[in-house]
Structure 1
Amino acid sequence: MCAAATPPPCRRSKSPWPGSPSSSRRAGHCPPANSRPPDRHPRGRGTPAATHASGVPQVQALPVLAGRRPTPQTAHPMTTANKITITRILLIPVFVMFAVYYGESVRAGHPQESLRAAAIAVFLAAALSDGIDGFLARRFNQRSRLGEILDPIADKGLLITTILTLTFTDWKYTFPAWFPVLVIGRDLVILTGAAVLQFVNGHLEVRPSLLGKAATALQMSAIAWIMFQLPNPFWVVAAAGAATLLSGFGYVADAIRQLHIGGHGNPRT
């Protein structure tokens, strides 16, 4: 009787799937007929990976967990609109420099009109950039969180800095001292009311009013009137001051309305 043939010695397999039929065959021996590769995906934890004809499991994408959505990709914050807004902020000290030097030349008795022209040009460029960056943000979908922060800083910074500069420098016409106090005081009241609403109601509804837009337009008109040295600036400054005061009352009334809607501010509650 012939002795059974001794199987060749097992060799160490380098297959990435140890224990699979293919790794066993590479190692020099065959697995039992009734054996099968271990189930790498227990029932209830996913779908088993598909197997190629060669016996090598194919890579399958993991299922997305229920209730989780892929995080949307956000645009780069340094958009063209934001670059224009930053440029507007950088133009503010340039305007102040030209305006102050012009005021000093007026005080010295030798007004240098080229400095006034430069101050006007810088202010107009900064003011026009406000409309340009807003158009780009809407037209090319360049809205961003950074733009929402920078835009009001640039707008208020340019407006208030110009009013203060034209109040305390020696131009031919200047703003009266009460005008910047009124403008800055109204803005502080609005900021304080917004903070109170956010703290008490937990949310804030920002709605620019028609009166507020009219006040801003009249303030810009008063600035242009003084810089171009048009006669009798008193009436346009007075109109801008009245609109600023009335818009402040309007914002306070709207804040009180939001407090009542939120269930606060009512003495009976």
Structure 2
Amino acid sequence: MNLPNRITLARIFLVPVVMLFLLVRFDFGVVSVGEFKITYSEIIATLIFIIAASTDGLDGYIARKKKMITNLGKFLDPLADKLLISAALISLVEMHRLDAWVAILIISREFAVTGLRLVAVAEGQVIAASNLGKLKTVIQIVAVCSLMINNFPFSYIGIPFSSIAVWLAVLITLFSGLDYFLKNKHVIDFG
């Protein structure tokens, strides 16, 4: 197994670790700033999530640069991305920091675009990730991180950054999904 695929697998293995630190209340202590409180578990989960999310670009870069692109990597990379984001979103719903409809909308878009890509592959076509899709991923990661750390430090100064980030994530998720379908409508046979 080559290095890019190992990095991708590491991202997959970090998914349950992120969930563990988010959902299980370890008694590591609490950071308090005025009325704001965040647990060390949430900080650890956020750091692990950031590390896992940052490997997304790294594995692809190494695979392209070193000509190590494999079918396994083509399968695992998008799977790892979807598992990481979906697990974080579902955990945040469980923690009452994210409305379920937001998680459902984002996860549904991922399923829809994946389905479109599968139909395209069956037709011998490849739908590459668009710049809009990459922007969507970055905004989703920022939104998830801000929710994981309970809007810190913005909550301390009264700025609803996590709410703004979530709304941006919803909008770019919808827009990028629509963009994929409009640019690739030839792939779907409406006959």
Give the TM-score category using the shorter length. Answer: 0.7 to 0.9
Unmatched 5+ stretches in structure 1: 1-77
Rg larger in structure: 1
What is the match of residue 57 of structure 2? 131
Residue 209 of structure 1 aligns with an amino acid whose one-letter code is S
> Alpha-carbon deviation of 1:169?
1.9
CA distance in 2, matches of 1:84, 1:235: 31
- Which residue of 201, 204, 226 corresponds with 2:125? 204
What residue is the counterpart of 2:74 in the other structure? 148
Corresponding residue for residue 190 of structure 1: 113
- Paired residue for 1:19? none
Alignment-derived partner of residue 138 in structure 2: 217
Q: 2:34 — aligned with what? A: none
Percent identical: 30
Task: Indicate if the aligned counterparts of 2:119 and 2:187 stay in contact, CA closer than 8 A.
Answer: no
Structure 2 unaligned segments of length 5 or more: list them: 31-36
- Alignment-mate amino acid for residue 256 of structure 1: K
Is contact 2:38-2:150 (8 Å) kept? no
Q: Structure 2: how far apart are the matches of 1:123 and 1:244? A: 20
Which fold has the larger relative contact order, with Cα–Cα distance below 8 Å and residues 6 or more apart in sequence? 2
Q: 1:131 to 1:166 in 2, by over 3 A?
A: same
Please identify runs of 4+ aligned residues in structure 1 that moved more than 4 A.
103-106
**Which residue does 1:175 correspond to in 2?**
98
TM-score normalised by L of structure 1: 0.59
**Residue 99 of structure 1, aligned match among 10, 16, 22:** 22
Matched, 1:118 2:44: yes
- 1:5-49: per-residue Cα shift (whole Å, max 9, x none)? xxxxxxxxxxxxxxxxxxxxxxxxxxxxxxxxxxxxxxxxxxxxx
Letter in 2 for 1:95: V
Displacement of 1:227? 1.9
State the match for 2:178 in structure 1: 249
Kindly state the Cα deviation for residue 117 of structure 1 after the two structures are TM-superposed. Answer: 2.0
Query: Structure 1 residues 193 and 129, CA, compared in 2 at 3 Å: closer, same or farther?
Result: closer
Contact kept? 1:103, 1:169, Cα under 8 Å: no
Aligned to 2:89: 163
Root-mean-square deviation (CA), in Å?
Answer: 2.5
Structure richer in helix, relative to its length: 2
Cα distance, 1:133–1:196 mapped onto 2, change above 3 Å: closer
Seen in structure 2, the aligned counterparts of structure 1 residues 80 and 191 have a Cα distance that, compared at 3 Å, is closer
* AA partner of residue 178 (structure 1): W
* AA matched with 1:113: T
Alignment of 1:253-268 (within 5 A): 253-259=182-188, 265=190
Tell me if the contact between 1:102 and 1:112 (Cα under 8 Å) persists in the aligned partners. no
